Amino acid sequence: MGLFPPDLPQHDASACVSAGFRGKNCEENIDDCPGNLCLNGATCVDDVNRYSCVCPPTYTGELCEQDVDECAHRPSVCQNGATCTNSIGGYSCICVNGWTGPDCSVNIDDCAGAACFNGATCIDRVGSFYCRCTPGKTGIGKVDLEEVNPHLRGWRVENHLGKTSTSSPDRDSNLDLPVLSGRAQHD
């Protein structure tokens, strides 16, 4: 059996230890990880007469002592116009209206809390919703829907906070009106 490392004199314990080994023939690598200085949850990896630190993704540096600025290194970490805020060991996203989730990638279902009346279908949008009325009905939001008079074809029936009136549209008005806080929005 040869010596390991081969250039060390046999039975020289101090030379063996200073080279990072122990044993009668310097055959066993000394584990340098006990008492290591790796920080922030890093993993120590033993080497010959030294060690290295494998950092978690949120830290960097020889001993994993430096916080990674995720906002600067990965600009798209927050989505849909969100603002990224770096913190020690992580980051957070401040979502714009209509979005949620850790990276603001989930559209909030605005229909979950919406009130469409008389069988109207709620259509979710980003940050808003609109009510698609059933045939023969018109209206918006929480205003009661009115029956449309078939003799008013080419006209429209409007209901403004309980007061019903007819008007002639300036153009084709066969469109869906999304609802924002009880007011119609035309895109």
CA-CA distance, 106 to 152, in Å (whole number)? 43
End-to-end CA distance of the chain: 84
Least Cα distance to 114 among 98, 133, 93, 128 occurs for 128
pTM for the whole structure: 0.52
pLDDT tens by residue, 106-164: 999 999 887 788 888 899 999 888 888 888 777 654 444 444 444 544 455 444 444 54
Distance CA 182, CA 92 (A): 33
Q: How far apart are CA 51 and CA 42, in angstroms?
A: 12
Residue 113 has, within 13 A of its CA and on its CB side, a CA count of 6
Q: When comparing pLDDT for 11 and 118, which is higher?
A: 118
Set out the domains of the chain in order of their start, with CATH numbers. 13-60 (2.10.25.10), 69-107 (2.10.25.10), 110-184 (no CATH)
CB-CB contact of 86 with 74 (8 Å): no
* Per-residue model confidence as pLDDT tens digits over 14-50: 677 667 888 888 888 888 899 889 999 999 999 988 8
